[in-house]
DNA sequence: GTACTGATTGGCT
DNA sequence: GCCAATCAGTACC
């Protein structure tokens, strides 16, 4: 089920595919990018979109839009976390913190990392599975002033949301947003967006504690040729779809 | 109850 | 490249 949400721009179903080859702009061309990536024509993605294996959902989330009020971000880098994955928070089983991970796909899972950073995940797969996709990086599309205020940046600097902590900060979310549905209008939403032309894959970041096969698993996905990706990009390489 | 750690970031050398 | 910040969650006694 897909529903239209944008109250101001109630246009007919957009030709999302037609825009799918839209180029991702350099930071200094942000204003131009805004006019080209017409997120406002996009529709909210329904629960079915999310209720697939995290490895399937992760690359599909690239290019999609995250919206909270006036702030709109475009997803450029993600990581998949799966059941029986020694790097997944679900490995602890259902706890107060991880309960949303085991809920039905399409909800947010937000947790605090290092006591300071709020990390946004999109819960994947069916209820009870325990899978999620971490949103690692985003391109800012709308609400630059709000983002800069939240990040304490001056307006001269480009807004680079190249890391999960920065994404959470730009959206202004806290752990209270954990378990929030992403497929209902209002609050935090995920909207359809253009598919990236090429995708990079590589190993996930910061999970050295996991078992070797999970440390080396290529479950990190990023939009190729896009500046909003956490470095080092050496660990990422092309994957043709 | 206490101890340890982390899906990070930004500043300093 | 190195390291401190900062605290909820988990493990263990």
With cut-offs at 50, 70 and 90, classify the pLDDT of residue A150: very high
Please tell me which residue lies nearest to nucleotide C4, judged from CA to C1'. A114
Q: Lowest-confidence range among A30-34, A170-174, A226-230?
A: A30-34
The model carries a pTM of 0.85
Position A230 pLDDT exceeds 90: no
Which bases of strand C sit closer than 7 A to a protein CB?
5-11
Backbone angle region of A63, left / alpha / beta, with phi > 0 → left and psi within -120 to 50 → alpha? left
d(CA A81, CA A79): 7
Which backbone phi and psi does A33 adopt, to 5 degrees? -60, -40
Which nt is closest to the CA of A160, judged by C1'? Answer: B9
Which bases of strand B sit closer than 7 A to a protein CB?
5-10
Q: Protein A149 CA to nucleic acid C3 C1', in Å?
A: 27
Which nt is closest to the CA of A165, judged by C1'? Answer: B8
Which nt is closest to the CA of A232, judged by C1'? Answer: C1
Each residue of A167-212: pLDDT tens digit?
Answer: 999 999 999 999 999 999 989 999 999 999 999 999 999 998 999 9
**For residues A4-27, average pLDDT:** 33
Q: What would the two tokens of residue A197 be?
A: 């032309």
Domains of chain A: which residue ranges? 32-238
Which nt is closest to the CA of A92, judged by C1'? Answer: C10
Question: Of A182, A177, A188, A136, which Cα lies nearest the Cα of A160?
Answer: A136
User: What integer best gives the mean pLDDT of chain A?
Assistant: 83
Residues A178 and A108 sit within 8 Å (Cβ to Cβ): yes
Position A10 pLDDT exceeds 60: no
Percent of chain A scoring above 90 in pLDDT: 67
Percent of chain A scoring above 70 in pLDDT: 80
User: Which three-class secondary structure state does DSSP give residue A28?
Assistant: helix
With cut-offs at 50, 70 and 90, classify the pLDDT of residue A21: very low
Give the architecture (CATH level 2) of A32-238.
Answer: Roll (3.10)
**For residues A37-64, average pLDDT:** 90
Q: Protein A123 CA to nucleic acid C4 C1', in Å?
A: 32
């Amino acid at each position: 089920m897909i529903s239209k949400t944008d109250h101001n721009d109630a246009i007919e179903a957009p030709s999302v595919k037609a825009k799918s080859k839209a180029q991702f702009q350099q930071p200094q061309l942000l204003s131009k990018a805004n006019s080209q990536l017409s997120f406002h024509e996009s529709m909210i993605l329904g629960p079915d979109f999310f209720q697939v294996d995290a490895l399937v959902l992760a690359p599909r989330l690239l290019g999609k839009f995250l919206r909270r009020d006036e702030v709109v971000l475009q997803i450029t880098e993600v990581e998949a976390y799966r059941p029986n994955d020694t790097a997944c928070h679900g490995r602890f089983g259902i706890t107060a913190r991880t309960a949303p991970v085991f809920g039905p796909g399409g909800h947010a899972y937000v947790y605090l990392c290092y006591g300071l950073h709020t990390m946004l995940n999109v819960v994947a797969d069916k209820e009870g599975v325990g899978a999620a996709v971490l949103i690692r990086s985003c391109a800012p599309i709308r609400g630059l002033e709000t983002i800069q205020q939240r990040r304490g940046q001056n307006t001269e600097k480009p807004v680079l949301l190249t890391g999960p902590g920065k994404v959470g900060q730009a959206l202004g979310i806290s752990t209270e947003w954990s378990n929030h549905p992403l497929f209902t209008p209002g609050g935090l939403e995920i909207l359809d967006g253009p598919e990236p032309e090429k995708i990079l894959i590589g190993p996930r970041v910061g999970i050295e504690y996991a078992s070797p096969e999970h440390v080396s698993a290529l479950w990190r996905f990023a939009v190729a040729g896009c500046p909003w990706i956490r470095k080092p990009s050496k660990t990422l390489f092309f994957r043709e779809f």
